[in-house]
Amino acid sequence: MAFIKVHGDCYRGDRVSPAQGYVCYDELNGVCYPRDGEEIHYRGLSVRLEEFQAHLFDSLRRADNSSDFTSLSETGRMFVMLRKSVFAAIVLGAAILAVGMPVKAQSPAPGPIHLSVDLTQAPQKILHAHMEFPVQPGPLTLYYPEWIPGEHMPDGPIINVAGLTFSAGGQTIPWRRDLVDMFAFHLDIPQGANLLDVHLDFLLSAPAFGFSAGKSATANVDILSWNQVLLYPKGYPVRELTFVPSVRLPAGWKFGTALPGAEQNGDTIEFSPVTLDTLVDSPVIAGRYFRVIQLTPGANPPHEMDIAADSAAALAMPPDMEMHFHQLVAETGALFGSRHYRDYHFLVTLSDDVAHFGLEHHESSDDRVSERSLIDEAARIYFDGLLPHEFVHSWNGKYRRPEGLATPDYHQPMRDDLLWVYEGLTEYLGEVLTTRSGLRTPEMSREALAQLAATFDRRPGRDWRPLQDTADAAVFLYDAGLDWSNWRRSTDFYQEGELLWLDVDTTLRRLTNDKKSINDFCHIFYGGPGGEPALKTYTFDDIVATLNGLAPYDWAGFLGTRLHSTAPKTPMEAVENGGWKVVYNEQPNPYSDNADTVKKQLNLDLSIGFIVSADGSIADVILGGPSYNAGIGPGMKITAVNGQQFSLDALKEAIDAAKSTAMPIQLLVANGTQYQTYSVDYHVGLRYPHLERDNGRRDFLSEILRSLGE
Ligand SMILES: [Zn+2]
């Protein structure tokens, strides 16, 4: 993709192509440069505006008589090639910007776009949306949101749009989809028309997996993601487009959202006008069984938990659990020292019939878990870190965001290279806050960490794919299955990222004799006046500079080694630097044991070398492990163990019994329609990881997990 983009007080370029021309605009002032039919290729790192201008003028002088392309690369930090004819336009723009003179403005964004969404048939798995666009006669291109913030990939569910019609003054307007930009619709507004009516339906019949495009409605619940039910005009940053949203709910349903100014009239709710980026960042949760819990009553800013469930019984959160969520809010205040929202809503869906995931927003989070998550102990432990993780994103992800993810609209590709910060640090802080708030005991946190470190220490894919590439390739790794995930790797920037940031935290403490830690990093990096939502982008260099400000060190080298080399020792070093070590024994790890109970599976990665479901289906097989060496692969199904009908217990007993015999474990396995017996030569028994205190080193881990209020 082609961009021109400057960091800092910057202007950004819209996507450009020879056919469509380009638009550049200053993010701060909204000034624009003339369209041009030429191409700009941007392949380098971002640079400060002053530096960019200096290069631009210098290179223009040198390029004046050259033939076709010129390079602006002198420092190696940047590499921009552009055709000369575009060059002059950009330099003109930069020069005008430099002296503060007004620049020819792009036509102002059209007036408010009214969007009303009818949720009354959500239980029937269909939504109806109506939009009114102020328009002018002539060609018009409308986009359906493609790159969804927080999902880090182009997964806007355009496949589920149906019944799309355009009309003006009662006259139907034909449309055609762009043959290259499949999320773009072209139409021609007739003379005399100034208001475009758009109708579309959104089909809610998706299966119950994936992210926000997955199943979002049941008989009793619906989660409205606004990006799924709207189009927006091309050529404007989404924060310059104003929408006036409203919803109509099924009779008697209640709702929760961070959208401001809700006015309810019967089952219809009208909200205050908001910019498109705020709208897409503010889903609405609605349901028949609904509960609102104030987490900071009487305080400013307010924090609220809005819970929609598939049953009334599921809403009965125990009081001690509720207290932990109060504590969670307090712990974030102590950790970050500033809040960048007007109010915050945890939008919690309790249903076995929707996709399960969390999606962060600036002033809310969309948290979807199983129906009994608040009342069943195993389910509660399984999801205990979800809300803390999504809450942290309000600071790390929304307020501070990698510049490659701060795109001006939902059409420009996002660059995922800093997801090891965006998600990895969030995972780390989320886990720490889960413990500090009491949602998880310190003992259980150590078991979780033992399982995590042991898993990644023995992950074969780390031998070929550096951690950095799991972020760079996130767009498709999010969709990769569990099969061969140990060898392919997955979105490991979350979990290995957690270990990486534990390593950073303990290293900061070690370097400063425990005077500085990641807590100080959070105060500096995520601080500021707070209040209204704001966006402040960052780069790798900003991370390094902040760490160096706390403790001078080769942080670029520290991070670079762990990100770019294969098989760095991060998992064990992170634990050991925290004052603990991983040990193995036959006692089940309660954290992973609980996860296995919820998932109805057995994770035997660290012993026989596979993950198997209760029905015998094998999900993942550790490359080079005992089962792999016996010939077993993912997708096969175990039907018998040593001649006995398969069950998870029978398998565990067979692994245990093999310790005292030289006979291999015999597994009768279906591979499609074919059956074969595989001999697994494994005699070490069941092995589970735990943490054991290393008395020779300072116990930083316990300090990290301790409440900041203590
Ligand atoms: Zn996240």
For the stretch 207-227, pLDDT in tens is 988 899 999 999 999 999 999
User: What are 236-248's pLDDT values in tens digits?
Assistant: 999 999 999 999 9
426 CA distance to ligand 1 middle (Å): 6
Mean pLDDT of the chain: 88
Give start-end residues of each CATH 2.30.42.10 domain in the chain. Answer: 596-688
422 CA distance to ligand 1 middle (Å): 7
User: What are 150-202's pLDDT values in tens digits?
Assistant: 999 999 999 999 999 999 989 999 999 999 999 999 999 999 999 999 999 99
Residue 710, pLDDT score = 62
327 CA distance to ligand 1 middle (Å): 21
Long-range contacts of 311-317 (CB under 8 A, 24+ apart): 311/220, 311/371, 313/375, 314/289, 314/350, 314/371, 314/372, 314/373, 314/374, 314/375, 315/289, 315/290, 315/291, 315/350, 315/374, 316/374, 316/375, 317/293, 317/374, 317/375
590 CA distance to ligand 1 middle (Å): 24
Does the pLDDT of residue 19 top 90, yes or no? no
Give start-end residues of each CATH 2.60.40.3650 domain in the chain. Answer: 113-392
- Domain 400-579 superfamily per CATH: Neutral Protease Domain 2 (1.10.390.10)
Task: Report the DSSP pairing between strands 303-309 and 344-350.
Answer: parallel
20 CA distance to ligand 1 middle (Å): 35
pTM of the model: 0.86
Choice among 103-112, 119-128, 287-296, 658-667 with the minimum mean pLDDT: 103-112
CATH no. of 113-392: 2.60.40.3650
Give start-end residues of each CATH 1.10.390.10 domain in the chain. Answer: 400-579
Q: Which of 290, 538, 613, 314 minimizes the C-alpha distance to 603?
A: 613
359 CA distance to ligand 1 middle (Å): 7
The residue type at 304: E
Which CA distances in Å does 447 have to 176, 381, 432, 435, 702? 56, 12, 13, 12, 13
Fold of 596-688: Pdz3 Domain (2.30.42)
User: Average pLDDT for residues 452-479, to the nearest whole number?
Assistant: 97
- What's the pLDDT band for 396 if we cut at 50, 70, 90? very high
User: What are 366-380's pLDDT values in tens digits?
Assistant: 999 999 999 999 999
- CB-count burial class (<10 Å; 0-12, 13-18, 19+) for 28: exposed
**Element at 244 (helix H, strand E):** strand 242-248
Residues 6+ apart with CB under 8 A from 681: 626, 629, 630, 664
400 CA distance to ligand 1 middle (Å): 13
User: Average pLDDT for residues 103-118, to the nearest whole number?
Assistant: 79
Give start and end residues of each alpha helix (H) in 342-395. 377-383, 386-392
Q: Crossing angle for the helix pair 424-436 and 495-511, nearest 10 degrees?
A: 70
Residue 208, pLDDT score = 87
Give residues whose Cβ lies within 5 Å of ion ligand 1: 423
User: Half-sphere exposure of residue 66, counting CA atoms within 13 Å on the CB side?
Assistant: 15
651 CA distance to ligand 1 middle (Å): 35
| Angle subtended at Cα 560 by Cα 559 and Cα 561, rounded to the nearest 5 degrees | 95
Residue 106, pLDDT score = 55
Kindly report the number of other CB atoms within 10 A of residue 188's CB atom.
Answer: 12
User: Average pLDDT for residues 535-552, to the nearest whole number?
Assistant: 98
**Contact predicate 24/32, CB 8 Å:** yes
Does the pLDDT of residue 297 top 90, yes or no? yes
User: Average pLDDT for residues 569-581, to the nearest whole number?
Assistant: 97
Percent of the chain as helix, strand, coil, to the nearest 5: 30, 25, 40
**ω before 283 within 30° of 0 (cis)?**
no
